[in-house]
Amino acid sequence: MDANDQVVITGLGVVSPIGIGCHDFRQSLLEGRSGVQVIPYLRGLVAPAPIGGVIPNFDVTDRIRPRKALKVMSRDIQIAFAAADLAVQEACVLRSGISPERLGIVFGTDLIPCELDEIAPAVRGCLVDGAFEFGRWGRRAMSDLYPLWLLKYLPNMPACHIGIALDAQGPNNTLTLGEVSGLCAVAEAVRVIQRGQADVMICGGTGSRIHPAYWGRSRAYPLSKRRDDPASACRPFDADRDGTVHGEGAGAIVLERRRHAESRGAAIYAEIRGFANTSRSTKSNAGLAEAIARAIRLALESADLSVRDIGHVNAHGLGTVADDEAEALAIHRTLGDVPVTAPKSYFGNLAAGTGVVELAVSLLAIRHGFVPPTLNYHRADPRCPIRVVHGRPLTGSSPAAVVLNHTPTGQVASLVVASP
């Protein structure tokens, strides 16, 4: 890649079930500490098991500005703002004298469900003899909602709030693509810089699947039934896996052209070397495996790297029987015996927050020289013929990684990052 096109990462922020900020997040990875637990407000749920990756001790009052913006911030927006703020602080980019017109935002989000206590009065106002009357919604129910209610739940609002707080007047965009949202946001931010439309981009992803609305309607993936031992529930690639786990989290990174970063003396985590986005041709496992394999090959080609250059794979690793088998086959066919780690074993499926929180695992691995083990991997599955890192961190591997995500509808994102 031409030096003028090299885009590097200079800041990282994480808000996750295993830590807020890079230090606590990294410590949990080193200690093998899970963030999956029984969700307090779902404790009485019979099925599915009321377990998930919950962010502990998240106090928004000291993290949001202006404070009045909290009135129109859902949980997804709050954790996105906090992650972006951490990344910007670490990069020291605002003290570099950057013009607001050259600072932009791209964020990946999910559809954001409404808090039940906010919508309950409106729903009750539409009940007639215990039945919901849809015809009453426009006339009656809207009067029971906070006038700015909708602003709390629009998917584009994380990017908007971050942009307003930072006075970022450059490109501002949002991608709502499920689990691939975060990695696709990173790829788009890289392209914005390479097109010359910004000098610095803040990008990331945010999502929360521990909201009760997801439990009532989400059937995209089988969920683990291990309610008696939540920490062991998500078991990517293990022969005894029985489903994934919901979670919540947000991650953000600061991107800039290498020359821009070096000119201001910024510390560099890694370089974005390549990216690919594919989709499966059929609903079969074979179709998903082929799409993942193609994404890996295209990303390596884009990065101008070979299999020998890759130190580890950061797998999507849902913990479901079918998805893990398809992903493992794709990794085996394209990358052979390259070590694989699966971060969802620590915190579950973070929806649109998945990509950049998991990318943070590889960035810390590159910076600190270790690949964290996959939790709960005890018995190899012959249908998943890959080298899963487990038991203890892996050291001494090449400082380059392939990061993978895919969605239940078959979209695949593959990102290659490497030591600067």
pLDDT at 281: 82
Instruction: Set out the domains of the chain in order of their start, with CATH numbers.
Output: 7-116+148-263 (3.40.47.10), 273-418 (3.40.47.10)
- Mean pLDDT score across all residues of the chain: 93
What does each C-alpha distance from 64 to 84, 248, 292 come to in angstroms?
11, 18, 38
Tell me: the pLDDT tens digits for 313-322?
999 999 999 9
Q: Of the ranges 186-190, 279-283, 327-331, which one carries the lowest mean pLDDT score?
A: 279-283
- Mean pLDDT of the 359-370 span: 97
Q: Are 119 and 183 in contact (CB under 8 A)?
A: no
Burial zone of 68 (CB within 10 Å; 0-12 exposed, 13-18 middle, 19+ buried):
exposed
Confidence label for 275 from pLDDT (cuts 50, 70 and 90): very high
pLDDT at 1: 52
- Running DSSP on this structure, what letter comes out for residue 197? S
Q: For residue 267, what pLDDT band results from cuts at 50, 70 and 90?
A: very high
| Predicted pLDDT at 140 | 73
Distances (CA, A) of 146 to 61, 64, 150, 154, 205: 21, 20, 8, 15, 27
Q: What is the structure's pLDDT at 18?
A: 98
Give residue 218's pLDDT: 58
- Which tens digits make up the pLDDT trace of 124-137? 889 999 899 998 88
pTM score, whole prediction: 0.95
Beta strand 340-341 pairing with 370-371: unpaired
Tens of pLDDT, residue by residue over 161-206, are: 999 999 999 999 999 999 999 999 999 999 999 999 999 999 999 9
